[in-house]
Amino acid sequence: MPESATARVHEQVGLSVELGHETPLELDCGISLGPFTLAYQTYGTLNAERSNAVLLCHALTGDQFVVGPHPVTGKPGWWELMVGPGRPFDTDRYFVICSNALGGCMGTTGPKEINPETGRPWGLDFPVITIRDMVKAQAMLLDHLGIEQLFCISGGSMGGMQALQWVASYPERCYTAVPIACAAKHSAQNIALNEVGRQAIMADPEWREGRYQELGTNPAGGLAVARMAAHISYLSEPALQRKFGRTLQDRSNVTYGFDADFQVESYLRHQGQSFVERFDANSYLYITRAIDYFDLAADYEGVLANAFRGAETRFCVISFTSDWLYPTPENRAIVRALAAVAANVSFVEVVSDKGHDAFLLDEPDMFETLRGFLSGAAARRGLGGP
Amino acid sequence: MNAGSGRTSARPDHRLIAELVEPGSRLLDIGCGDGALLELLAREKSVDGRGIEISQEGVNASVRRGLSVIQGDADTDLADYPEAAFDYVVLSQTLPAIRDPRGVLLELLRIGRIAIVSIPNFGHWRNRLHLLTRGRMPAPRGSGEPWYATPQIRPCTIKDFVMLCRELGIAIDRRTQVDSRGRVRRFSGTGRFANLFGEQAVFVLSARSSRTPASGTKRG
């Protein structure tokens, strides 16, 4: 792997590279960003033909640490079950790359980082970014790594949106694409949910118009509420019922107060609390906004099929029966658009009661589907077995 | 392709379809089941194949084999495909399970240049005898499914199918029968023997230049 002089190993966040020195990143909002930093991790080895690279795109609150231990939390990576030797994204076979999304807070340029023009954290001076901007930044990373074509572009949720955008923007660079549990546009309900999260953050007096870093405050309360609200949308009613029901938390009776009487409350509070230790409130605003703005068809005369016209990419779309954030009909709309241009597409709806988060969990049908799809494509691409 | 191991010989109608298909062509298999035909065609004819299958188990099995298959319904989802997207569109043993066979037949020849349709022949002598002597609906051989549970909601005979094609202005370029022992039989003449002794029939269809104007094949 070619390492240019600008590549460096950050003591905490692994690999990162400064991009956009000569040609800045032209953002959708009209601002030119450059140079900027992209933090990333790689797993496995790039082959001599440079044909076995897999780019995984993380979801809203994910990061480049696909496989753990995570440098901040010490926990396993978000796709530990999917990536590694013998896993569907087999690191004995593929060279797996994941970068922290533009606007993120794990080393990539985002509102938390220092604005070189002012010497202060960007905060709300950071330009509003889009899914397409994130993808453009990733394409610059691939140029830096000397990878012309990806064997596979994949991700779940916001990561799946990026996978779709990748094929639309750079069809010739995507041999296969696996968008999982996602949609070609963000629905009104999902924009509404994101807005609740953003309002929770901005209503926190410690948010200070986004300048909390300089002023030494921390809108952890607002960010935790945002996470709690969002987390409900990642689960499903049956899963919540199965996991918690109406079980009380370490007590035999309700307390007639507002303590966390129920286990489900305690669980959500814990989700909120652990989230604020690793995530930046302004990043949350920016990335949810990027997701809200995503409407792939809008860039193609309102016809989603046009986004994929002429693409030779082989697709595998996966959805989950109990996902109400990006339900199967949204995933099927992608499949229909692909069929309309006679693209090469497989589509599997996995039966699961675990809701949207199923894509991160132990779902054997998802693993088997991916294994079969990737093996078939790898044979066609001339990638040998492990 | 992943070459499977311990493969048993292919179904007779699959074998027959494979003989009809030009190597390297683009093909859509509607109701592809577990992908056995698509795999055979990819392996032996280097066909660029796609599949639609209504059952999720079938789709999962196919995708695991490395085939391009989507979960979908022939009655509703063919409208998504553009005109002449495929060299061949295959409907193997699926026609009796379709709500609107007429509409689907027209769709086949809109999205494909050639349609290959195989049907179980309800007019086979065994079915006729069963109905005559026992007075009960014959179940498809080997399935043992009672009349109220069979997916074959619209069983037809070879003759019924030929008449429908005539009505729709569809040309039957070739017709082949398979008898109860899986042997390929070609009956000449009017088709009376075929309708009596053919257990399955495979038709190769194409659109006649003078198509019935009222057929309204454009959708979506």
What's B59's domain CATH number?
3.40.50.150
Are B103 and B213 a contacting pair, CB within 8 Å?
Answer: no
Q: Is A118 helix (H, G, I), strand (E, B) or coil?
A: coil
Residues of A in contact with B82 (CB under 8 A): 340-342
Q: With pLDDT > 70 as the criterion, what percentage of chain B qualifies?
A: 87
Strand-strand pairing, A53-57 and A114-115: unpaired
What are the tens digits of pLDDT across the range A277-320?
999 999 999 999 999 999 999 999 999 999 999 999 999 999 99
Q: Which domain holds residue B183?
A: 12-209
In chain A, CATH 3.40.50.1820 covers: 8-188+295-381
- Among the partner residues A335, A342, A372, nearest to B70 by beta-carbon distance: A335
B182: number of Cβ within 10 Å: 14
Tokens of A164: 């779709």
Q: Which of B207, B4, B24, B209 is nearest to B106 (CA)?
A: B207
- Among the partner residues B2, B60, B80, nearest to A369 by beta-carbon distance: B60
Tell me the count of A-B CB pairs closer than 8 A. Answer: 73
Q: For residue A182, is it left (φ>0), alpha (ψ between -120 and 50) or beta?
A: beta
pLDDT band for position B189 (50/70/90)?
A: low
The arithmetic mean of pLDDT across residues A242-262, rounded, is 94
Q: Which CATH superfamily is domain A8-188+295-381 in?
A: Alpha/Beta hydrolase fold, catalytic domain (3.40.50.1820)
Q: Known catalytic residues of A?
A: 157, 323, 356
Among A99-108, A190-199, B123-132, the range scoring the smallest mean pLDDT is B123-132
Residues of B in contact with A347 (CB under 8 A): 59, 69-72
What are the tens digits of pLDDT across the range B44-90?
999 999 999 998 889 988 998 889 999 889 999 999 899 999 999 99
Beta strands in chain A (DSSP E): 8-10, 14-19, 25-26, 32-33, 36-43, 53-57, 83-84, 89-90, 95-99, 114-115, 120-121, 150-156, 174-180, 314-320, 344-350
- B216 within domain boundaries: no
First vs last C-alpha separation in chain B:
34
Backbone angles phi, psi at B59, to 5 degrees: -65, -50
- B6 within domain boundaries: no
Residue in chain B closest to A379 (alpha carbons) equals: B1
pLDDT at B12 over 60: yes
pLDDT band for position B13 (50/70/90)?
A: confident
A190-288: in CATH 1.10.1740.110: yes
- Among the partner residues A339, A365, A375, nearest to B66 by beta-carbon distance: A375
Burial class (CB in 10 A: 0-12, 13-18, 19+), A207: buried
Tokens of B22: 């030009």
In chain A, CATH 1.10.1740.110 covers: 190-288
Q: pLDDT value at position A385?
A: 64
Cross-chain residue pair A341–B66, CB shorter than 8 Å: no
pLDDT at A3 over 80: no
Min Cα distance B51 → chain A (Å) is 8
Number of structural domains, chain B? 1
Q: Is A351 helix (H, G, I), strand (E, B) or coil?
A: coil
